[in-house]
Chain A
């Protein structure tokens, strides 16, 4: 906060322990990167196996009303760039950002390009301004823009909390990113996924298209805030979306809230969904 950019990395159980700190960082507006390498849970469930079971914990894990930024890389190169992006976002919005990845992606070895210093944008760390002779006030209770405690004042508290929420909510389209492929022929069916599962999804879409099925591919790069407008726009001609993910079908619900016909592929057990599994589900809904 006072001078250095900070990041912390954990997997599964450690992420549960960090929820209190994440809430505090949101309220105190501390730029911070938290990396959660998801393993199978609950508890130490499957400590060496990948999962995507923390997608809702990343969004809702700490108590209180808040918005948060969560990024989901699909390969090692993106892991590199999104780490920088996450720190940039945390500085820009003065909030913790979560890089939510899986055991698969972080243990992969892939050839990556490492840019020279200055080639990829890196925001400077900003120390918050102080007012007059006072130091910067930092605490877990609600505060106004100057850091003064407003917790006893309903009106000012509401204003303070709305400010924290709106700084993310009003910038969803600026923060959130998706990747869309194979949309040119306006497919009615899309496969939508994120993280390592998106690699299986892409392989399945390629198989389907080789056989002449019109199927599109959508990948969430930002999980939260949920890129609602971008998805609606990309899927404007689609009616059905198949959502493979390594949990009990969580992000599928978000797609359902957009009014789409959603076919979830919830995969538990510690293995990525295979392209064949996704292929066979899509074959059942595509004509």
Chain B
């Protein structure tokens, strides 16, 4: 069984970080599963299309990119228009509230509109969209057949803290604050998904 997750948006919104963290969390949650994180982005550090895929399977993973997506986060109109057709009919498209779904060709698919970018800005900037999406994704994925009961918010927090401690090693100030904000974003994202809606 293969689960495909895609985080797509603009460079600087943290779609790469969200994918990396999700892969790390799933590897921690169930070491017997195969997990691949696969990014794709343009040559700009900020701006430009960026996405990351996380493939989760109980069998060895051959093709490492998402093509029949179970869960997609689309933060921009561009990402939505480009990738919504790759979401399975029984998959879920999570769009930011700024994205207009009537423009696309995926009207018959399941959509879920969340205030991701606005919430991220309230926390401190667009980049916190990453951990908001991450929180939402682990709540949703924790209720799928493959990952049922395996994804705990508390374990996810530990992975996030460890990741930022390691990647922000060179920074002298503000590390604690950044980690706290990311944990807050993770919790907000987790609560954004109401499992009873599905």
Contact = CB atoms under 8 A, between A and B. Distances in A.
Nearest to A206: B62
| Residue of B61, B64, B65 contacting most chain A CB atoms (<10 Å) | B64
A269 to B, nearest CB: 13
Nearest to B67: A274
Given A109-B20, A111-B27, A274-B67, A200 B62 contact: yes
Interface string A199-231: 110110010000000000000000000000000
A257 interface: no
A200 B63 CA distance: 5
Contacts of B36: 108-110
Main secondary structure of the interface of B (DSSP, over half): mixed
Interface string A256-287: 00000000000000001011100000000000
Interface string B54-66: 0000000111110
Nearest to B23: A109
Chain A: interface size category:
10 to 19
Interface string A79-103: 0000000000000000000000000
B26 to A, nearest CB: 10
Interface stretch (B39-47, B116-124, B135-143, B188-196): B39-47
A63 interface: no
A108 B64 contact: yes
Contacts of A172: none
Contacts of B23: 109
Interface of A: 47-48, 104, 107-111, 196, 199-200, 202-203, 206, 272, 274-276
